[in-house]
């Protein structure tokens, strides 16, 4: 007889999904500095995982390991394994360009290309050869903008520069750009930190919709945001993963004293 | 209510007397600070005015000397193309046509027009002195172009001699005694007559732009030098721009940061400050003595100027690439662009205004460069237009340098005139750079 796992009981609204991303003993060094120590975590598919913690705790560093963005920093060294769908992404045979097509990323500051709205979204599909005709590309662009909740606002001015949109619209454009290449995982590095509350609410709504189809990992400074959008939460402190679990558990019943102190505002 | 303050302690906020003292001290120091600020502003304005004054003097001296070079005195003659002089054999042999005495025809035409005695040899010599020594070339070219004109009378504009030109431009004092004036009383009378009849006028000097080197100032021009400079600019553009941009992109985006790349960077920055004559020596040693390229050829000049311009272009390009925000690179990499795609699709296009500005400023610097060209034999008396970058030629600033060493009044005004043309070209290039930067400057 198998014992029923407790998880289901604590989080009745969450459907249990398979693990999408699995990190095993990940260590990151920036030169001499040991920025991330022995992080192991399983991230389920079709749900939102939030990374919280004080500044400099390594949560963004870990996020950037998942699409190997740390490769661009010459002094960074990563050890350990990160497995996406049974494939180690640090395996030398894996091509980083292909990985980044599967693992999209949205950055802290909205960073649309200084090109038209259409070109921003079309760039990814174009370089990966995902469309065979102009009609194909139009459809991908339209669908991506639709999914990012931006279509209604921009459909009449697709040729206007992407940099002319408001901050929140720019960030949604960046999300559209990321989902245009049809990724499996979307990484978001504090996507709302440069936005006002209304734009933030829209992005959070969007994240909630997107989780039906994608594995979303979000780094956030705001504990309220983590509580609102995520199903699971991981708390980082001083380069270590302190505690990880269902969001409701982390916020109502943390096991570790440091987590308790952080979420009650005693430090951070 | 004076409160004794303990020596060395800070005055308390409640102490009225101490407060007054503090305020007075601040008042005093404020006045001093404002005075210092005003003094600094005055120094700044004075420095700028000083600089502007020098610039004004420079421009005034160049323009006042040079503006006369854009017009040149010419005689309007009805030249009889006498068959017995040009083609006595009647065979229209090109060699015979080329060596005929056209000067005689011009002299006769002018003498007739002035009412001088064509049989009097002294008169004919004096008439001849009014015409440019290269007058035969103009008539010969007409005849060679159309031999059927022989025997007919054609109207031609021919250049007056340098003396006549000086007189018309007021550079020669007509009140001087005839012995010192270089122009006899008889000649003076003829000149006045021709001028009154509209036969002698100052016309726009196209020769200044089309002629090559000449020992007669009235027929000397910058045409050959301009073509030489053009060939050199093409060489620089074709070599320095791709090399410089590629080197800058590699150093900025791909090269590892280590001792060797630091060394290269320091050296590039130093090369930009190396005196240009050193590049001339290098060119002489490598391109001419070692590689065996011809002397005085614009290809060698172009190569030397390429070496000289490379550091400028590399530094400007690196700065422009470095100014592209990293977020654009991350955005491109984030959707799965390869490093090369991120650079060629996003970073370089965004850096383009800066790259173009640097390139144009580098080219402008190369256009005005003289010293390295002296070392590779481009100080040459070149009459014929260069047909290829391998043929002998000279450059605009070198032509100016050569004219500046001649004493004739005609060369002095040409030195200033050519300087004006060079300055105009440089201003146009810099203006173009500014317009490009304004046009493509984006915010992100």
Single out the residue in B171, B206, B241 at which a domain terminates: B206
One domain for residues B53 and B114: no
Q: Tell me, yes or no, whether B214 lies in a domain.
A: no
Rounded Cα distance, B278 and A101, in Å: 52
One domain for residues B339 and B430: yes
Q: Tell me, yes or no, whether B172 lies in a domain.
A: yes
pLDDT for res A3? 41
CB atoms within 10 A of CB B406: 15
Q: Tell me, yes or no, whether B217 lies in a domain.
A: no
Shortest CB distance from B333 goes to which of A69, A128, A180? A69
pLDDT for res B315? 95
Mean of the pLDDT values across residues B384-413? 90
Task: List the structure tokens of A192.
Answer: 């709302």
For the cut 70, the answer to whether the pLDDT of residue B4 exceeds it is: no
What is the least distance, in Å, from the CA of B399 to any CA of chain A?
Answer: 47
One domain for residues B57 and B77: no
One domain for residues B292 and B405: yes
For an interface test with A, the pick among B325, B336, B338 (most A C-beta atoms closer than 10 Å) comes out as: B336
Rounded Cα distance, A8 and B157, in Å: 106
Restricting to A residues 62-91, those with a Cβ less than 8 Å away from any Cβ of B are 67, 69, 72, 74
One domain for residues B40 and B84: no
Shortest CB distance from B337 goes to which of A112, A127, A174? A127
For the cut 70, the answer to whether the pLDDT of residue B2 exceeds it is: no
CATH number at residue B357: 1.10.3720.10
One domain for residues B192 and B236: no
DSSP states along A32-79: TEEEEEEEEEEEESSSEEEEE-STTSSHHHHHHHHTTGGGGSTTEEEE
Q: How high does pLDDT run on average in chain B? A: 88
Four-point Cα dihedral B55, B61, B65, B66, nearest 10: 0
Mean of the pLDDT values across residues B37-57? 97
One domain for residues B98 and B175: yes
- A126 and B CB contact within 8 Å: no
- B262 and A CB contact within 8 Å: no
CB atoms within 10 A of CB B413: 24
Mean of the pLDDT values across residues B132-150? 85
Q: How confident is the model at residue B1 (pLDDT cuts 50, 70, 90)?
A: very low
One domain for residues B199 and B280: no
- B371 and A CB contact within 8 Å: no
pLDDT for res B115? 84
Domain of B42 in residue numbering reads as: 16-67
β-partners of residue A241 are A236
For the cut 90, the answer to whether the pLDDT of residue B53 exceeds it is: yes
One domain for residues B229 and B341: yes
Q: Does residue B382 contact residue B392 with C-beta atoms inside 8 Å? A: yes
- B336 and A CB contact within 8 Å: yes
Domains in chain B: how many in total? 3
One domain for residues B43 and B76: no
Mean of the pLDDT values across residues B88-115? 83
Q: Tell me, yes or no, whether B9 lies in a domain.
A: no
One domain for residues B180 and B230: no
How is chain A split into domains, by residue range? 17-112+188-263
pLDDT for res A15? 53
DSSP for residue B205: -
Single out the residue in B156, B173, B206 at which a domain terminates: B206
Q: How confident is the model at residue B82 (pLDDT cuts 50, 70, 90)?
A: confident
pLDDT for res B436? 84
B215-264 confidence digits (pLDDT tens): 888 889 999 999 999 999 999 999 999 999 999 999 999 988 889 999 99
pLDDT for res B153? 87
Superfamily for domain range A17-112+188-263: P-loop containing nucleotide triphosphate hydrolases (3.40.50.300)
Rounded Cα distance, B2 and B20, in Å: 11
Q: Does residue B102 contact residue B139 with C-beta atoms inside 8 Å? A: yes
**C-alpha torsion sign, points B288, B292, B298, B301:** negative
Q: Give pLDDT < 50 ranges for chain A.
A: 1-14
Q: CB-based burial of residue B209 (10 Å sphere; 0-12 exposed, 13-18 middle, 19+ buried)?
A: middle
**ipTM rounded to 2 decimals:** 0.86
One domain for residues B57 and B78: no
Restricting to B residues 337-366, those with a Cβ less than 8 Å away from any Cβ of A are 337-338, 341, 345-346, 350
pLDDT for res A74? 82
Residue B152: HSE in the Cβ half-sphere, 13 Å Cα cutoff: 11
Min mean pLDDT across B31-45, B201-215, B224-238 is at B201-215
pLDDT for res A103? 93
- B444 and A CB contact within 8 Å: yes
**C-alpha torsion sign, points A121, A123, A127, A131:** positive
Own/partner contacts of B90-97, CB < 8 Å, gap of 24 or more, are B92/B147, B92/B150, B94/B144, B97/B140, B97/B143, B97/B144, B97/B147
Higher pLDDT, B15 or B310: B310
Q: Does residue B182 contact residue B172 with C-beta atoms inside 8 Å? A: yes
Q: Which residues of B touch A128 (CB under 8 A)?
A: 336
- B253 and A CB contact within 8 Å: no
């Amino acid at each position: 007889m198998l014992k029923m796992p407790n998880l289901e009981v604590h989080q009745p609204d969450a459907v249990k999904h398979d693990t999408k991303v699995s990190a095993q003993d990940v260590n990151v060094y920036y030169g001499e500095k040991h920025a991330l120590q022995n992080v192991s975590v399983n991230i389920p598919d079709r749900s939102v995982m939030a990374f919280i913690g004080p500044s400099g705790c390594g949560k963004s560093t870990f996020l950037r390991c998942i699409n190997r963005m740390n490769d661009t920093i010459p002094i960074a060294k990563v050890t350990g394994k990160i497995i996406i769908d049974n494939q180690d992404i640090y395996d030398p045979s894996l091509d980083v360009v292909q990985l980044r097509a599967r693992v999209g990323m949205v950055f802290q500051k909205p960073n649309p290309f200084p090109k038209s709205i259409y070109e921003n979204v079309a760039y990814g599909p174009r370089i990966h050869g995902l469309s065979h005709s102009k009609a194909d590309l139009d459809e991908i662009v339209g669908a991506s903008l639709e999914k990012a909740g931006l279509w209604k606002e921009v459909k009449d001015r697709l040729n206007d520069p992407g940099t002319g949109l408001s901050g929140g619209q720019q960030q949604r454009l960046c999300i559209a750009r990321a989902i245009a290449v049809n990724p499996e995982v979307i990484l978001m590095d504090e996507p709302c930190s440069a936005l006002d509350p209304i734009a933030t609410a829209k992005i959070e709504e969007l994240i909630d919709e997107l989780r039906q189809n994608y594995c979303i990992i979000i780094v956030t400074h705001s504990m309220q945001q983590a509580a609102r959008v995520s199903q699971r939460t991981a708390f980082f402190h001083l380069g270590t993963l302190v505690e990880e679990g269902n969001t409701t558990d982390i916020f109502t019943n943390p096991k570790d004293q440091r987590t308790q102190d952080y979420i009650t505002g005693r430090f951070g | 209510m004076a409160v004794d303050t303990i020596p060395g302690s800070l005055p308390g906020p409640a102490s009225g007397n101490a407060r007054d003292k503090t305020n007075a001290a601040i008042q005093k120091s404020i006045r001093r600070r404002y005075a210092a600020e005003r003094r600094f502003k005055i120094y700044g304005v004075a420095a700028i005015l000083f600089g502007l004054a020098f610039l004004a003097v420079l421009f005034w001296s160049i323009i006042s000397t040079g503006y006369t070079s854009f017009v040149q005195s010419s005689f309007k003659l009805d030249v009889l193309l006498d068959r017995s002089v040009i083609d006595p054999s009647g065979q229209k042999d090109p060699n015979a046509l080329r060596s005929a005495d056209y000067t005689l025809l011009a002299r006769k035409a002018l003498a007739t027009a002035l009412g001088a005695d064509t049989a009097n040899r002294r008169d004919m010599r004096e008439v001849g002195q009014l015409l440019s020594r290269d007058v035969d070339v103009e008539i010969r070219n007409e005849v060679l172009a159309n031999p059927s004109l022989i025997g007919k009378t054609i109207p031609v504009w021919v250049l007056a001699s340098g003396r006549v030109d000086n007189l018309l431009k007021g550079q020669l004092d007509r009140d001087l005694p005839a012995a010192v004036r270089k122009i006899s009383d008889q000649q003076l009378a003829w000149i006045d007559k021709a001028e009154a009849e509209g036969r002698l006028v100052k016309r726009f000097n196209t020769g200044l732009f089309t002629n090559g080197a000449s020992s007669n100032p009235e027929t000397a021009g910058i045409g050959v030098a301009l073509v030489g400079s053009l060939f050199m600019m093409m060489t620089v553009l074709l070599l320095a721009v791709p090399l410089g941009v590629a080197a800058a992109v590699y150093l900025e985006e791909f090269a590892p940061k280590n001792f060797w790349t630091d060394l290269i960077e320091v050296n590039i920055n130093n090369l930009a400050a190396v005196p240009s004559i050193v590049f001339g020596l290098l060119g002489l040693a490598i391109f001419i003595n070692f590689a065996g390229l011809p002397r005085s050829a614009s290809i060698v000049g172009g190569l030397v100027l390429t070496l000289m311009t490379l550091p400028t272009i590399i530094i400007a390009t690196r700065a422009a690439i470095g100014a592209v925000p990293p977020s654009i690179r991350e955005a491109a990499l984030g959707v799965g662009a390869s490093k090369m795609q991120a650079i060629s699709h996003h970073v370089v296009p965004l850096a383009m205004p800066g790259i173009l500005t640097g390139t144009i400023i580098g080219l402008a610097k190369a256009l005005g460069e003289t010293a390295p060209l002296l070392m590779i034999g481009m100080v040459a008396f070149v009459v014929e237009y260069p047909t290829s970058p391998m043929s002998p030629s000279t450059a605009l600033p070198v032509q100016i340098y050569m004219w500046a060493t001649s004493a004739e009044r005609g060369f002095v005004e040409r030195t200033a005139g050519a300087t004006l043309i060079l300055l105009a070209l440089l201003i146009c290039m810099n203006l173009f750079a500014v317009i490009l930067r304004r046009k493509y400057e984006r915010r992100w």
